[in-house]
Amino acid sequence: MSTRRAEVGDIVEDAEGRQAIVTDIRQNATWVLRPRQGPATAQWDTAEPDSLRVVKSRASRLGEENGLW
């Protein structure tokens, strides 16, 4: 099974086990994350996107919300 790199809007889990939502990708080098729950201002970033495991893609989340899946 191949893994794909996280994209904006994906729910991910980082190397420390924290779940987050990717909010921005800056210059294809830094992934900006915010907590899945809690204050949106408590964000952090990573320069190692391959350390992020995609829990749920943005596309699948939107499909579920719209009753498509």
Q: What is the pLDDT of residues 25-36, one digit of tens each?
A: 999 999 999 998
Q: Which residues of 19-29 are buried (b: 16+ CB within 10 A; e: fewer)?
A: ebbbeebeeee
Cα 59 from Cα 41, distance rounded (Å): 24
Task: Report long-range pairs for 34-43 (Cβ below 8 Å, ≥24 apart).
Answer: 36/11
**Overall pTM > 0.85:** no
Q: 11-67, pLDDT tens digit by residue? A: 999 999 999 999 999 999 999 999 988 887 899 999 999 999 999 999 887 776 665
